[in-house]
Every structure is written in structure tokens, then in C-alpha cells.
Structure 1
Amino acid sequence: MSPELPVWRSLLYVPAHVERFVARAHERGADCIQIDLEDSVPPSEKELARRCVAAAAERVRAGGADVLVRINRPLGLAVRDIEAAVGPHVDGFTLTKVASADHVRLLDELIGEVEQQRGMTVGHSRLIVLIESADAWLHAAAIARASPRIVALNLASEDFALDCGIEPSFETLLMPKQQLVYAARAAGVLPLGLVDSMTNFADEAKFADIVRRSRRFGFVGASCIHPAQVPILNALFAPSSEEVERARRVIDALEAATREGRGAAALDGRMIDAPIAENARRLIARHTAIAARAARA
């Protein structure tokens, strides 16, 4: 994983125009707060929500979270959202209903123009790209490489299922979700998401099981719609102390074997070779990055 990529285990949606949610967002412990201008904001409240974005961004990052703004589509709404939101307290944008690589590049250009107008470093704003249609999914690899601003790729389960005419479930979403992991990794960006629907926040045990499975399939974090989901995502998308301890033993075992002129070692009845040791190093690097993030909060 590139050191430039953020640590985003939990990305909590907060509607920009609802004061009681904004006021407490910084207390929730999320790695990232996504100030929402899209689905949680009715059309009649869009303009109010835009006026709230700058102040909301400054407030919700008080707990150390990164801040993204989820914008609308069609393009006319997206333009107004971006013009309202680009600023020093907004780390980037979640792009919804992305249609193609050209769509991403168009929004990238607009964001850069606004950054320049406001005296900001061009490139400050990072991007999560949401795949929400069958057509976009077929072009996910190109979309993931469309802009150097992109740091993460996600597949919106409910919207994608609606477009495909399928029920959003583990069985129906597994293949497209797994392919999304491959597209993200090939592009060097974060694969975000869950291998099931995230709408049932009341059953915490079931949600935790979904998160565990999602991590095994390669996801490193996910968006969430309820604060109760944040600690579950933070805990289960992080290496456990047992995993970290074993990773260190794996590395030590292979290094000892290497000193003796061997390319493999045995540990607890299992063979250890270069790919397994590299995976252990990545796990420890992930653990270190999460600890560094916690220290900044």
C-alpha cells in the first residue's frame, strides 16, 4: 500500500444541513467524515446544505478525522457542490454515479480551477470514486486510473443492485465487489466497501461478520450510515494484536533462514517464504499507519 494513501477504516456519512448530526460527528471516532450533499439531502435543502459545508467541515474535523464531501450528479449540481466545498478544511470529494474516466477528468479539472482561484495547492483535494452502474463497473479499471487525485474506489451496493436488477446480498454482490478490489489494487488505490449491503445497522453482530468477511476479500475500510458502525469498522479493519505478533514472528523466522542460506522456513508447522513474509510486512505497516493516525487525533 502506498504511503501516500490515507488510513480510512470508517467513513461516516453526515448530512451537511442537519445541525444535530454535524455537532457530534467529531465525537464518533471515524477516520473520515463524509459531509453529504447527495442522498441524505432532499432537493429542497440542497442549497442550504451547500451553504453549510464550509462551517461543517471545520467543525467535524475537530476530532482528527479527514473530511470529504459527497457531491451530486447531474453535472449542474456537481459544479455547484464543488464550488461550495473546495477549501482548506475539505480534504476531498466522494464522486457519485461516475460514468467514465472522462467524467472523472472533467470534475478533476473543475476542482483544480477552483483550488487555483482560491490560492490553494492544485491537487489538494483527493477523490473517492463511486461505481454505481453496470456500465461504470465494466470500465472500473480505467476509471480507477483516471486522475492522480483518486485514492479510493468503492461500489455502491444498493444503487449498483438497482441498476443491475439484482437483490443486494452477499451472493449477488460478491463477484462485482471482488473485481472492484482487483481494479483498485491494479491502480494503486484503496478498495473500500463491504461484500454485502450496509443498510442494516441494527444487527451489530451481523454487521461485524460482514466486515470480517470483507477484510478477508481485500477491502480496507467502508462507508457507514450510523455511528454505531464506526467502532466495529475501526476494530475489524485493523490488524489484531495476535496478527501483529504472528507477523513479526514470520519475518523473524524468514530472516533467520535467509542468514543460513535458505529461502524458506517453518513456523508452527507451516512453510514461510518470501510472499508470506511480504504480507506480514504489509500487515505491520498497516498497524503502524493506524497507530500514527490515532496519535494525530
Structure 2
Amino acid sequence: MMKDTFAAVESAMSVPRWRSLLFVPVHVPRFVEAAHERGADGVILDLEDSVPQDRKGEARKRLPESVAKLARRGASVLVRVNRGLRALAVDLDAAVMAGVDALVLPKTDSAEWVLEIANAVSELERERNLPLGRIRFLAQIETPAALQRLAAIASAHPRMVAMALGPEDFSAAVGGSPEFDLLLTPNLSVLFAARAAGLLPLGFIGSIGEFSDTHKLRETAAQARRLGFVGALAIHPTQVAIFNEAFSPSDQEVEWARHVLAAEKEAAAQGRGAFALEGKMVDAPVVQRAREIIAMGTKAELGV
């Protein structure tokens, strides 16, 4: 019965469009106040790494006010919880509330861990008369052990909606530096697992901490979109506009997609599944890519 309920909630909810998700430390009011002005598709109210240990209690107390402020602005509201069991329990008690769209789960390393959190969130939703299953999960992959379990993690629970590699933590876990050679394979692994499970693949091949070299960041973000990523996590406002542009289709792409869909409609009326357009053959995969471009350009669901 519970699976049926989750399935109904999931089918009724749209796939979010998260070109940019901006981390904001909850315990710094001025950052929270300005978060809605940055243009991010979602704001991650952080209880984890950006909050010192002795300020975490204060951050949790500030959550209700912070969530309420951001929820009124139209962007998605996410909360990143802590990994440790004791801290996680307190975080969930503070974070499961109306207005929260998703939880960011750091250092996710197994499907069983996702299920444990999902069960706890379900209990809190029922106790608080919140819609069962509305709060989704974005799993951060930050350990080499998690790479062996990506498929299971991605399909662990209907709450799962997105996955992203944590480049800094992952690099530290393997004793390396967050550079292209090290991060390419794990990022692609996350991308493939997310796509296979129908989740949003978020990320780019590089360090999340590099934001001052905007030219390099634009190139990195553009490359990520070409690979198949749909958005990225940001730790600085400078990154937001760059990600929004990089993960949005250009006017030329939208025009091409419209031509493809118009030609596909005409071809279908003639009983043809494949057709030539501008000197190239077009079939189902190309039509699907055109549909995704149109969807991304109109802020509709990605799964059109």
C-alpha cells in the first residue's frame, strides 16, 4: 500500500529543473536573506560542512524561518543534513517541514542508508500531517565504495530525484586532487547511474571550489552539459549565472529542436519513423534530444 502511495505522489510531481543549486550556510542570516537574489533554481540550506560544529544547533533553530522566506520566492528549497547518525536524527527532526522540497544526503554509500533515511522521513511526515513522499532526495557520492553501488543507490527509493559527485570529498577519500583526470570516471559513473534510474545527473568535471576563473568555469560547465549533465551545485553566487546559462539551450538549439519536432510530426503523418532534415538523418533518439531541448528552454519537465 505504501509503495502505491509513493508511486501516486511521484507521478503527480514534476521533475525539477535544477540548473543551479546554491549552498547557503543557515547560521549566516545575511547569506540566507540574499539567497533569493542570486537567480539559482534552488537553494541548499546547509547544516553540514559550511556550519561549524558549535553553530549547528543555531543553524537548526534558524531553519523554519529560512525555509519560509525562501519558499515564498519560488526557488526550490533543499536542506543538506549531516552524515553522522546522531546529528542526522536531529537534522531530520528540524528539516522535515512544509516548504522543504528535498534533502541533500552527503556521503551516500549504500541503498540501505537511503532507505533508513526515507523511513525516518516518512514517519515524520505522517506525524506532522505532511504529504507522504513529497520531500525528495539528492544523493551526494563522495567515497570510492559508493561507486560500486551506484545503481542500487539510484533506485533505492522513490524519493530519489538526483545524484551528484562531491568532487572535493571524493578526491580526498582517494588521496588525490580534484582534477580532470581523477574526476572524469566517477562523474561519468554517476551520470550513467542517474540516467538509468531516471534521476537528474548534476555536476561537472572539476573542483567545486574554483569560482574566480569564470572563463574556465564556463568551459567546464559547457563541457558538462555536452556530456549529459543537467545542472550543478554552486558554493558561490558567481557560479550561479554561469551554470544557468551553460545548462540552458541556446536560441539556435531551440530553433533546431522546433524544426526537428515539426518535421517529425509531418513524417509521422506520412507513416515514416525516420527522415532527412538539413542533410542529416533524424530518428527517435534525435527527436528525443529535441524534446529535451524544448523542455529545458521552457522550464517544463525534463522528461517530456
TM range (shorter): over 0.9
Partner of 1:237: 247
**Match among 162, 184, 188 for residue 198 of structure 2:** 188
**What's the CA shift for 1:269?**
2.2
Partner of 1:176: 186
CA contact (8 A) 2:45 2:80 kept: yes
**What's the CA shift for 1:71?**
0.5
Q: Distance in 1 between matches of 2:261 and 2:136?
A: 34
Code of the residue aligned with 1:40 in structure 2: it is S
Code of the residue aligned with 1:241 in structure 2: it is D
Partner of 2:23: 13
Partner of 1:295: none
**Match among 116, 140, 143 for residue 106 of structure 1:** 116
Structure 1 unaligned runs (5+)? Answer: 293-297
% of aligned pairs identical?
46
Partner of 2:92: 82
Partner of 2:72, secondary structure, is helix
**What's the CA shift for 1:289?**
2.6
Q: TM-score, normalised by structure 1?
A: 0.93
**Match among 52, 65, 82 for residue 42 of structure 1:** 52
Q: Deviations over 1:37-95 (max 9, x none)?
A: 00000101111111111111111233211101001011110110010111112112000
Code of the residue aligned with 2:138 in structure 1: it is I
**What's the CA shift for 1:290?**
5.0
CA contact (8 A) 1:264 1:271 kept: yes
Partner of 1:160: 170
Partner of 1:17, secondary structure, is coil
**What's the CA shift for 1:165?**
1.8
Q: Deviations over 1:197-227 (max 9, x none)?
A: 1211111111111110000111101110111
Tell me which moved more, 277-286 or 185-194.
277-286
Q: Deviations over 1:105-160 (max 9, x none)?
A: 00111111111111111212111011110001110110011111110011100111
Q: Distance in 1 between matches of 2:124 and 2:267?
A: 55
Partner of 2:280: 270
Code of the residue aligned with 2:227 in structure 1: it is F
Code of the residue aligned with 1:114 in structure 2: it is L
Q: Distance in 1 between matches of 2:117 and 2:24?
A: 22
* 1:253 corresponds to 2:263: yes
CA contact (8 A) 1:144 1:183 kept: yes
**What's the CA shift for 1:21?**
0.2
Partner of 2:130, secondary structure, is coil
Partner of 2:253, secondary structure, is helix
Partner of 1:13, secondary structure, is strand
Q: Distance in 2 between matches of 1:237 and 1:143?
A: 25
The size of the alignment, in residue pairs, is 291
Partner of 1:63, secondary structure, is coil
Q: Distance in 2 between matches of 1:228 and 1:70?
A: 21
Q: Distance in 2 between matches of 1:75 and 1:118?
A: 22
Structure 2 unaligned runs (5+)? Answer: 1-10
CA contact (8 A) 1:26 1:60 kept: yes
* 1:221 corresponds to 2:231: yes
Structure 2 CA distance for partners of 1:290 and 1:203, relative to 1, 3 Å: farther
Partner of 2:131: 121
Code of the residue aligned with 1:128 in structure 2: it is L
CA contact (8 A) 1:132 1:159 kept: yes
CA contact (8 A) 2:295 2:301 kept: no
Code of the residue aligned with 2:221 in structure 1: it is V
Partner of 1:128, secondary structure, is strand
Partner of 1:22: 32
Partner of 2:36, secondary structure, is helix
Code of the residue aligned with 1:41 in structure 2: it is V
Q: Distance in 2 between matches of 1:260 and 1:73?
A: 56
Q: CA RMSD in A?
A: 1.7
Q: Distance in 1 between matches of 2:83 and 2:91?
A: 10
**Match among 264, 270, 294 for residue 284 of structure 1:** 294
